[in-house]
Amino acid sequence: MDHFTLVANMEKEEFRILNAIEIGMRKFKTVPFTNIAFYARYDPEEVQHWLDKVHKRDIIIRESGKRQRYVLNSKGYDLLALRALAERDVVASIGNMMGVGKESDVYQALATNEARLALKFHRIGRTSFRAIKQKRDYARGKHHVSWLYMCRLSATREAENLATLNDIGAPVPVLVDQNRHVVVMELFQGQELHDFTRVDDPADIFDKIVAAVSLAFRKAGLIHCDLCEFNIVLTVDGDVLIIDWPQAVSIDHPNAHGFLQRDLENVCVYFEKKHGLVRDPAELMQEILPRESTTTD
């Protein structure tokens, strides 16, 4: 049974139990039975009944011991987000997986008006949760940070960044909505730059990428921070889209210029090695940065 069919077949009490576990995971690595009962506002017998039911659906994890404790798995969290998006009349159905990354899964979907959508499920820490906690500034120093919190915050940041970039007309995916760890975007047709063995006009594509970087910096105050051939898309119309914005930082960040330079260096190195196009990242920095900034770095 696919996720969306499962959402349609579940009872409201099951979602209430999932919500109670979700609330508890803000405080506990595994949520005690008593806390689930408190958050769900059900008596213990009802709680146990619904816990058993969702456990059989394989959407929660039960930790056995003197006292049972529970936690959502990724499927359970997916269902909470999909139900919310369905109730908002944003998503009507979900289709095939389009791609799998280190920190996300992307699926095709249909809107209630039959528009084609892309659903990006953030999967922060899939390879190394500890490394992500140290790397991401919003988790650093926190005693307890659940994978659930990290995924939701990553999606929220990406949605906020996309909204800002959409407002200035930057070549990025168009944001439709966001709930929990899921970002909903308009579906675009294209392939990652990495997938192309050759391109017709490398210089034109390179210039479009740099123009997008400059626009994001100057008009939105954002630096991508992870720009490379894997998150640059060439569309069927020959345009460029810059994707994957959760880790972007403001130009006010103390390391902003270093991040910008690294992005430009990544693109320059790729185009030189792959397409024989030589560009100087230092010169590009001079073109993008305000004149007063270039004299103080």
Is residue 131 very low, low, confident or very high in pLDDT (cuts 50, 70, 90)?
very low
Lowest average pLDDT, out of 128-142, 158-172, 245-259, goes to 128-142
Is residue 66 very low, low, confident or very high in pLDDT (cuts 50, 70, 90)?
low
DSSP 52-91: HHHHHTT-EEEE-SSS-EEEE-HHHHHHHHHHHHHHTTS-
Lowest average pLDDT, out of 120-129, 193-202, 249-258, goes to 120-129
Q: Is the pLDDT of residue 130 over 70?
A: no
Across the chain, what does the average pLDDT equal?
91
pLDDT at 114: 94
- The answer to whether residue 226 is catalytic is yes
Q: Is the pLDDT of residue 1 over 60?
A: no
Q: What is the pLDDT of residues 91-122, one digit of tens each?
A: 999 999 998 888 999 999 999 999 999 999 99
Q: In this structure, what token pair is assigned to residue 258? A: 């270093």
Neighbouring C-beta atoms of residue 49, cutoff 10 Å: 12
**Would strands 240-242 and 249-250 be described as parallel, antiparallel, or unpaired?**
unpaired
Which phi and psi (to 5°) does residue 181 adopt? -100, 10
Q: Where are the beta strands (DSSP E) in 187-293?
A: 190-192, 222-223, 232-235, 240-242, 249-250
Catalytic residue of the set 226, 239, 244, 297: 226
Question: In terms of pLDDT, which residue wins out, 57 or 2?
Answer: 57
pLDDT at 64: 78
What structural domains and CATH numbers belong to the chain? 3-75 (1.10.10.10), 89-186 (3.30.200.20), 190-294 (1.10.510.10)
Tell me the pTM.
Answer: 0.91
Is residue 125 very low, low, confident or very high in pLDDT (cuts 50, 70, 90)?
confident
Q: Is the pLDDT of residue 127 over 90?
A: no
Is residue 224 very low, low, confident or very high in pLDDT (cuts 50, 70, 90)?
very high
Q: Is the pLDDT of residue 62 over 70?
A: yes
pLDDT at 141: 52
